[in-house]
Amino acid sequence: MALKLKGVEYEYVEEDLKNKSPDLLKYNPIHKKVPLLLHNGKPILESLVILEYIDETWPGPAILPSDPYDRAMARFWAKFLDEKCWPAMRRACLSRGEEQEKANEEANEVVMFLENELKGNKLFWGDTIGLVDIAANLIGHWYGIFEEFNGIMQPPLITKDKFPNLCEWVDKYTNRSFVKENLPPKDKLAQLYMDRIQAAKAAAQ
């Protein structure tokens, strides 16, 4: 999303995380994880570090605000999304039964901080796409997937009555044509989710 925003041409290489490529192990021997940005033969690692690198390397729309305090707030919330919200929501989505109830409760508590921060739209940038929007991209997109495949998937964790501000952001963000054109296909992600649920069920038996 950041590279598209800056108008940078790039090659996207899909990584099979069950069978990691020699390149992934070579360029990210510590975490062996994606995303990994390779630029001039040098690897840049960790989602938020990559976003700041892109912002500092290429001209085009700014991803971080210019004021130091606003930058600190954007960094804080992007980190919160990356390290607290997303893992909590992931646990809630992939667990079942009693474990899920507990995971749901925890995720609700974490996401509520985001919801409260969104009151008066302080957090996200509004008319431009910034660091926090991109970090929240996963939530916005998955919310849409859960809504669309509601019959075969668990009900969405994020509902309009509980999280009105967050849902408003999701609507606004994912309906922007620039964002819409550049999100991965929902059916492919839904299939991935169903596969994971099946694998988790099989492992539990």
Q: Is 33 in the site for its own copies (CB under 8 A)?
A: no
Binding segment toward its own copies, per CB under 8 A, in 67-75, 94-102, 182-190, 192-200: 67-75
* CB neighbour list of residue 77: distance below 8 Å, 6 or more residues apart: 114, 117, 123, 132, 135
Comparing C-alpha atoms, which of 144, 193, 188, 189 is closest to residue 166? 144
Q: Which one of 63-71, 86-94, 165-173, 181-189 is the stretch in contact with its own copies (CB under 8 A)?
A: 63-71
Is residue 12 a contact residue for its own copies (CB under 8 A)?
no
Q: Note whether 10 binds its own copies by CB under 8 A.
A: no
Residue 89 beta carbon to its own copies: minimum distance, rounded to whole angstroms: 16
- For residues 77 and 84, what is the distance between their CA atoms, to the nearest angstrom? 10
Identify the residue among 56, 98, 127, 181 touching its own copies (CB under 8 A): 56
27 binds its own copies (CB under 8 A): no
Q: Can you name the residues that pair with 37 across neighbouring β-strands?
A: 44
Count the neighbouring beta carbons within 10 Å of the beta carbon of residue 151: 5
> What are the phi and psi torsion angles at 36 (to 5°)?
-140, 125
Residue numbers of the site for its own copies (CB under 8 A)?
30, 39, 42, 44-46, 49-50, 52-53, 56-57, 68-69, 71-72, 75-76, 79-80, 113
